[in-house]
Amino acid sequence: MAHAISLLCFDRNLQMGTTEKQNEVYLEPEYAADLASIRKARKRIETFIDTTPVLKSSFIDELSGRKLFFKAENFQKGGAFKIRGACNAVFSLPDEVAKRGILTHSSGNHAAAVALAAKLRDIPAHIVIPKNAPQCKIDNVNQYGGRIVWADSSIESREAIAAKVQEETGAVMIHPFNDGNVISGQGTIALEFLEQVPELEAIVVPISGIALGAKGIKPTIKIFGAEPYGASDAAQSKATNTIVRNVSPRTLADGLRAQLGDLTWPVIRDLVDDIIVVNDKDIVKGMKMLYESLKIVVEPSGAIGLAAVLSKQSASHPDVAECRSIGIVLSGGNVDLDPLWDYMNCACQT
């Protein structure tokens, strides 16, 4: 079914309003980033990234019984929010350090983002990629000119090979998430989103940086995480109040097979109000709704926020239930659709 889409806010040159500043809270320096570092990140990266639009669907609003606002980071450069953190990290480096090149290990969007950020700064990028990474994400790294170094799928293999490359090249490691500059860069989503939709009462996030930015600007806002059952380390960590590792993540959402880090865990522990855990089938239902109603391409990890809001867990969750305006970050749109093209090619008549 197709439905009306409200294109809420597409001005690429939004200015920060002055009224929002009254209630801002600068968090204690116990986290790897804060509102000040996120503001600095925004200035540093603004010429390299897009201000992504916020989308709405009257059909989905009716279905969920509240107003949902979708921050379309699938439209971001490189097809995901990751370029925000990668650019902030890469452009924070002094020239003499940057020229040695940069390095990361990632199965996905961060890999392409680091390659793109390196291209923008005209320095080499070495990208350690596990062999089970989605083809479209590997293609992106190639497209941006990153040098691919293959690893096995385990986190240990990736880290060992990355260490070897670092030793050989002297390149600077840009960690996918456990890096203050990366966290600050991702946090810029919160600044944009709350300028575009100041009424938000909650944001469902894939990223700890957003919690720092959003609670810095609007301390009353609720922040909910969303995780698949097969990789629910954050939910388990919050339940036990200590870092639990994903031993062997099992989920369709390849972007969510990561781990908590010692820099992201304190943010999730203290500032994320709760984690909503959903199964893969719910994620596919969320994707389908986004494709059909908003006419946009989102990857499984990007659709989990909608799946979480529409889940049974949310319906019976007192904090979620009371929110009338919820922001959902559609984190990325890089997904292999080959089964669709195979089908379409078979259906061709000429």
* Catalytic choice (106, 107, 184, 208): 107
Does residue 247 touch a copy of itself according to CB under 8 A? no
- Name which position in 14, 132, 154, 229 contacts a copy of itself (CB under 8 A): 229
79 contact partners, CB below 8 Å, separation of at least 6: 109, 112, 140, 332, 333, 334
CB contact at 8 A, 213 and 40: no
CB contact at 8 A, 208 and 267: yes
- Least separation in angstroms between CB 96 and a copy of itself: 29
Site size for a copy of itself (CB under 8 A) = 59
Does residue 63 touch a copy of itself according to CB under 8 A? no
Catalytic residue status for 153: no
Nearest to 207 by CA among 99, 80, 326: 80
Q: Candidates 78-86, 99-107, 153-161, 174-182 — which segment interacts with a copy of itself by CB under 8 A?
A: 78-86
Q: Smaller CB distance to a copy of itself: residue 316 or 349?
A: 349
H or E element, residue 197:
none
Catalytic residue status for 82: yes
CB contact at 8 A, 203 and 223: yes
CB contact at 8 A, 165 and 187: no
- Name which position in 171, 191, 263, 287 contacts a copy of itself (CB under 8 A): 287
CB contact at 8 A, 165 and 103: yes
Q: What angle do CA 259, 184, 227 make, to 5 degrees?
A: 35
Q: Candidates 20-28, 34-42, 73-81, 199-207 — which segment interacts with a copy of itself by CB under 8 A?
A: 73-81
Binding mask 19-38 for a copy of itself (x = CB under 8 A): --------------------
Rounded to whole angstroms, how far apart are CA atoms 347 and 350? 9
Does residue 333 touch a copy of itself according to CB under 8 A? yes
Does residue 12 touch a copy of itself according to CB under 8 A? yes
CA dist list (Å): 246 to 156, 231, 256, 274, 314: 13, 6, 10, 18, 23
Q: Smaller CB distance to a copy of itself: residue 204 or 297?
A: 297
- Name which position in 92, 104, 106, 140 contacts a copy of itself (CB under 8 A): 140
- Least separation in angstroms between CB 43 and a copy of itself: 20
Q: Smaller CB distance to a copy of itself: residue 220 or 350?
A: 350
Does residue 271 touch a copy of itself according to CB under 8 A? no
- What are 173's two structure tokens? 């490691």
Nearest to 193 by CA among 184, 177, 204, 180: 204
CB atoms within 10 A of CB 64: 16
Nearest to 326 by CA among 200, 224, 190: 200
- What are 58's two structure tokens? 């009257």
- 85-124: contacts with a copy of itself (CB under 8 A): 112
- Name which position in 41, 297, 323, 329 contacts a copy of itself (CB under 8 A): 297
* Catalytic choice (56, 67, 77, 82): 82
Does residue 145 touch a copy of itself according to CB under 8 A? no
- Least separation in angstroms between CB 22 and a copy of itself: 29
CB contact at 8 A, 85 and 186: yes
H or E element, residue 325:
strand 325-330
Does residue 132 touch a copy of itself according to CB under 8 A? no
Residues recognised as catalytic: 82, 107
**Binding site residues, a copy of itself, CB under 8 A:** 1-7, 9-12, 50, 52-53, 59, 74-75, 77-80, 112, 136, 139-140, 143, 228-230, 250-252, 279-281, 283-284, 287-288, 291-292, 295-298, 300, 333-334, 337, 339-341, 343-345, 347-350
